[in-house]
Amino acid sequence: MNADSLNIMTKENNTLAIAPQRILVIAMRYLGDLMLSTPLLHTLRMAYPDATIDVLTYRNNAGLLEGNRDVDNVIETIQHQSWAEFGYLLKRIFQHYDLAITLEINNRRYFYARLAAKNVIGFVPQKHNKGHWKKHLLTASVEFDNDYTHTILEIAKLGDLLGIPAQLQQVAPYTDHKIDVPDLTDNPYVVLHTHPQWRYKRWPVTNWILIAEFLIAKGYIVILSGGPDRKEQAYIEEIFQPVQIKSKRIVNLAGQLSLAQLAKLLASAKLFIGPDTGITHLAAATGSPMIALFGPTNPVKWAPWPLAYTERKNPFQKKGDQTINNVTLLQWPEDCVPCQNEGCDLNRESDSRCLLDLPVSHVVLHIKKLLNLK
């Protein structure tokens, strides 16, 4: 059978006539979004072990799927395509699949999905929102809830459409490549990921310096993680340089590790501390004990998913410090938290007062609890 002639789903009751042989999952947002979609990939693999499962994602996110046995092929693209790149992508996916699943409410994603397969499932806006008509573009759909359902549980609803049991655990990338960092085998270390993509999610540099110095004083090696972007590395150097002057027990690995290597590093860390960013979701998936610093973001929807949490209900509430399994989530109790705005000035490059006001002493208190320090 080929995808040109095959209809695997009946639209009346969303049931599968036969198991799909080729599946395309379209996940083209940020790194954290792709991490939160890995339970769906595992759901599909468990339900259809003989199917070919491909993922269409951005090139800079593709490393998150390294070593993932639920995925057969990663189709990489870039955000701003040339016409030649766009044409190549369409040629590669055109009517090549029995089933396409899109994880975003986005016109271009619908377009890709409809070209890739006759049978398409995905999200649509709720009935009272503009764009609900898009449900007619899909074989079966779920109304997207942006406020009251965690993203992993939301994505699990797509598996429900197919009538297959939901898997809720994330799958971290894997590699056999060694991490060339001395003195980590016999020394406990803590990983600090200090730089989210947007300013409104940042905690002040001076606070990170104090946290690093505290951990070093307690006998830990501090490892700074980060990506290859020049601005990000410059930001991390602002933390690294003043601490290094006082102690050599700080290591800057920004831009030196693949995502799979970073996952291996995180898995053996005594603690991870980071803001609302994709690497924080990755840390949660590795099982590392962790502290997530949240400001305006709604934790009901976007909190890191705790390891071994399998309930079909939100792990975190909207407000307050909370610990579920390996994830400790900290919020400073401003009345407006979480406002779900992009900074106090309503743009991504503005500060968030709730993060600026989150004191070092409050974070240290939770570090002491998790590391059993006095």
137 and 259: one domain? Answer: no
pLDDT of residue 6: 44
Domain count along the chain: 2
Residue 179 lies in a domain: no
138 and 216: one domain? Answer: no
The whole-angstrom separation of Cα 161 and Cα 146 is: 19
193 and 143: one domain? Answer: no
pLDDT of residue 81: 86
Containing domain of residue 79, as a range? 9-161
Residue 307 lies in a domain: yes
122 and 235: one domain? Answer: no
Q: Are 201 and 279 in contact (CB under 8 A)?
A: no
pLDDT category at 14 given cuts 50, 70, 90 is: low
Residue 95 lies in a domain: yes
214-223, 304-313, 329-338, range with the lowest pLDDT? 329-338
Which of the listed residues 142, 161, 180 is the one where a domain comes to its end?
Answer: 161
For residue 2, pLDDT over 50 is answered with no
212 and 361: one domain? Answer: yes
Residue 156 lies in a domain: yes
pLDDT of residue 1: 30
304 and 225: one domain? Answer: yes
Determine if residue 213 is left, alpha or beta; phi over 0 gives left, psi from -120 to 50 gives alpha, anything else beta. Answer: alpha
pLDDT of residue 3: 36
The 10s digit of each residue's pLDDT in 67-97 is: 999 999 999 998 888 889 889 899 999 999 9
148 and 227: one domain? Answer: no
Residue 109 lies in a domain: yes
3-state helix vs strand vs coil in the chain, percent to 5: 35, 20, 45
The 10s digit of each residue's pLDDT in 35-66 is: 999 999 999 999 999 999 999 999 999 999 99
pLDDT category at 4 given cuts 50, 70, 90 is: very low
Smallest CA-to-CA distance from 356 within 340, 339, 334 is with 334
85 and 214: one domain? Answer: no
Residue 167 lies in a domain: no
Mean pLDDT of the chain: 91
Q: Integer distance in angstroms from the first to the last C-alpha of the chain?
A: 65
The 10s digit of each residue's pLDDT in 181-199 is: 766 767 899 999 999 999 9
99 and 157: one domain? Answer: yes
User: Torsions phi, psi of 341, nearest 5?
Assistant: -95, 160
The whole-angstrom separation of Cα 57 and Cα 20 is: 21
The 10s digit of each residue's pLDDT in 269-283 is: 999 999 999 999 999
197 and 108: one domain? Answer: no
203 and 349: one domain? Answer: yes
Q: Are 287 and 330 in contact (CB under 8 A)?
A: no
For residue 135, pLDDT over 90 is answered with no
Residue 64 lies in a domain: yes
* CATH number, domain containing residue 266: 3.40.50.2000
**What percent of the chain lies above the pLDDT cut of 90?**
80
The 10s digit of each residue's pLDDT in 329-352 is: 999 988 899 999 999 999 999 999
195 and 338: one domain? Answer: yes
